[in-house]
Amino acid sequence: MRGTAHQALTKRAVQNYRPIQTKEATILTLSLVSPSARVNLLVDLPKHFHRAGASTIMSIVYDYPTLESIDDPAVKNIEDFMLRVSNAMTPGRYLVDIFPWMMYIPERSGILLIISTCIMLTYNPQKVREMEARRLETIFPGL
Q: What is the pLDDT of residues 41-89, one digit of tens each?
A: 667 788 889 999 999 988 988 888 988 888 888 888 888 888 888 877 7
Q: Which of 73, 75, 62, 69 is nearest to 48 (CA)?
A: 69
Q: Structural domain boundaries of the chain?
A: 1-89, 92-143
In our burial notation (b when 16+ CB lie closer than 10 A, e otherwise), range 19-47 reads: ebeeebeebbeebeeeeeeeeeeeebeee
Asked whether residue 31 carries a pLDDT value surpassing 90, the answer given is no
Residue 19's pLDDT band (cuts 50, 70, 90): very high
Residue 36's pLDDT band (cuts 50, 70, 90): confident
Asked whether residue 26 carries a pLDDT value surpassing 90, the answer given is yes
